[in-house]
């Protein structure tokens, strides 16, 4: 039966479960520590990204996918209607900052011992989604912020997949239409956008270098044999066209407190991208694990006819968030998808 692992174990005790929800909700409202004045309130779009990622990583049975159908405010909390497959919709709640999710008052971003361990044991092999649109040459678009630790985590996981599949897919890294990491991120977004646009064959080499040490961007440009003059000209032209740096300096077109980055704004709007990372395959958002094996399995599910490269053996270890090498200290459940992302 598809559904939250918590509900799987108690499928005959739904009245008890929803009683727990009600008690938990009342308890949270009662505690002053969770007052609005002490929490950063997330927008519904951001809550949707955070909670869907968390639920699918930690609470769903292998192969099952949950989707949030609606979010509304109720009694100082977000009321979240979660579709867990078939005709099953679970009425759940979350605090406005996205830190706690009910019925179990779980801290988003941390696996619960029971749910995490059970799902982790069941996920010996990555499970590909069954509902991805098919294409002879899948279009894979990864939206990130260049300094978002969870965006870089996904990039580290997907680069070996891109190397394995080569020209069998249309792959592109794209950038969120706002930046949460200051002016340095705007600069890096411009650098990567231009390398990928005009010197495409050198982009993966550059990105692999940058992901190891973000302080070495200039050195990575050199070691990747990027034409510096061509890059400088492209950055200046792109910056002028989209007023990236001027808008930042003049506090224009900000998303709340975050600077806008409008170079790929239309693509963000097309897919309703809310945070980093967001993976779009053949026009559909999907949330696989961030390890290379899970990403290969997911992307290959989007082929009309899978090529032999889909049989490539890649690492199932989840890369560590942020820059540098290594793997995540505590692999998440269900294929290694961490529940974290960068979103306003």
pLDDT in tens, 187-213: 999 999 999 999 999 999 999 999 999
Coil/strand/helix, residue 73: strand
Domain boundaries in the chain?
5-122, 139-339
- What DSSP assignment string belongs to 105-170? TEETTS--HHHHHHHHHH-SS----S-PPPBSS-EEEEEE-TT-HHHHHHHHHHHHHHHHHGGGSE
**Chain centre to alpha carbon of residue 34:** 26
Q: Are strands 139-144 and 170-175 parallel, antiparallel or unpaired?
A: parallel
Torsion (CA) 234, 275, 205, 218 in degrees, nearest 10: 60
pLDDT of residue 52: 82
Q: How far apart are CA 85 and CA 108, in angstroms?
A: 21
CB 274 within 8 Å of CB 102 = no
| Verdict on whether the full-model pTM lies above 0.85 | no
Residue percentage of the chain with pLDDT more than 90: 55
Q: How far apart are CA 78 and CA 146, in angstroms?
A: 30
pLDDT of residue 343: 84
pLDDT band at 157 (very low <50, low <70, confident <90, very high): very high
pLDDT (average), residues 282-303: 95
pLDDT of residue 114: 37
CB 216 within 8 Å of CB 174 = no
Q: How far apart are CA 312 and CA 200, in angstroms?
A: 24
pLDDT (average), residues 16-41: 47
Cis status, amide bond into 277, omega within 30 of 0: yes
**73-88 pLDDT, tens digit each:** 877 788 888 877 654 5
Q: Is the pLDDT of residue 18 over 80?
A: no
Coarse DSSP helix, strand, coil percentages of the chain, rounded to the nearest 5 percent? 45, 20, 35
Coil/strand/helix, residue 264: helix
Coil/strand/helix, residue 69: strand
CATH of 139-339, one of 3.20.20.80, 3.40.50.970, 3.40.50.1460, 3.40.30.10: 3.40.30.10
**Largest distance between two CA atoms of the chain:** 67
**98-114 pLDDT, tens digit each:** 888 774 434 455 444 33
Whole-number average pLDDT of the chain: 80
More confident residue, 201 or 68: 201
CB 31 within 8 Å of CB 38 = no
Compute the Cα dihedral for 96, 146, 111, 60 and give only its sign: positive
pLDDT band at 128 (very low <50, low <70, confident <90, very high): low
More confident residue, 62 or 262: 262
């Amino acid at each position: 039966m598809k559904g939250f692992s918590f509900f799987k174990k108690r499928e005959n005790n739904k009245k008890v479960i929803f009683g727990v929800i009600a008690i938990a909700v009342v308890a949270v409202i009662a505690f002053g520590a969770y007052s609005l004045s002490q929490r950063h309130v997330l927008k519904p779009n951001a809550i949707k990204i955070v909670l869907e990622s968390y639920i699918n990583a930690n609470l769903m049975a292998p192969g099952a996918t949950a989707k949030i159908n609606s979010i509304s405010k109720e009694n100082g909390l977000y009321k979240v209607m979660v579709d867990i497959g078939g005709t099953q919709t679970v009425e759940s709640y979350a605090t406005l900052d996205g830190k706690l999710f009910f019925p179990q008052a779980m801290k988003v971003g941390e696996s619960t011992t029971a749910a995490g361990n059970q799902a982790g044991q069941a996920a010996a092999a990555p499970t590909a989604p069954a509902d991805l649109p098919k294409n002879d040459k899948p279009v894979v678009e990864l939206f990130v912020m260049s300094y978002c630790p969870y965006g870089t985590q996904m990039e580290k996981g997907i680069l070996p997949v891109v190397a394995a599949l080569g020209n069998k897919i249309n792959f592109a890294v794209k950038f969120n239409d706002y930046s949460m990491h200051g002016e340095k991120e705007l600069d890096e977004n411009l650098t990567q956008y231009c390398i990928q646009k005009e010197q495409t064959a050198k982009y993966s080499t550059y990105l692999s270098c940058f992901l190891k040490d973000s302080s070495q961007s200039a050195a990575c440009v050199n070691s990747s044999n990027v034409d510096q003059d061509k890059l400088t000209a492209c950055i200046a032209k792109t910056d002028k066209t989209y007023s990236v740096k001027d808008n930042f300096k003049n506090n224009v077109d900000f998303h709340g407190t975050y600077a806008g980055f409008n170079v790929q704004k239309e693509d963000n709007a097309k897919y309703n991208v809310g945070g980093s990372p967001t993976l779009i395959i053949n026009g559909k958002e999907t949330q696989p694990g961030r390890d290379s094996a899970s990403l290969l399995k997911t992307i290959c599910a989007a082929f009309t006819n899978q090529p032999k490269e889909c049989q490539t053996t890649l690492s199932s270890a989840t890369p560590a968030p942020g820059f540098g090498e290594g793997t995540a200290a505590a692999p998440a459940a269900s294929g290694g998808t961490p529940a974290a992302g960068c979103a306003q």
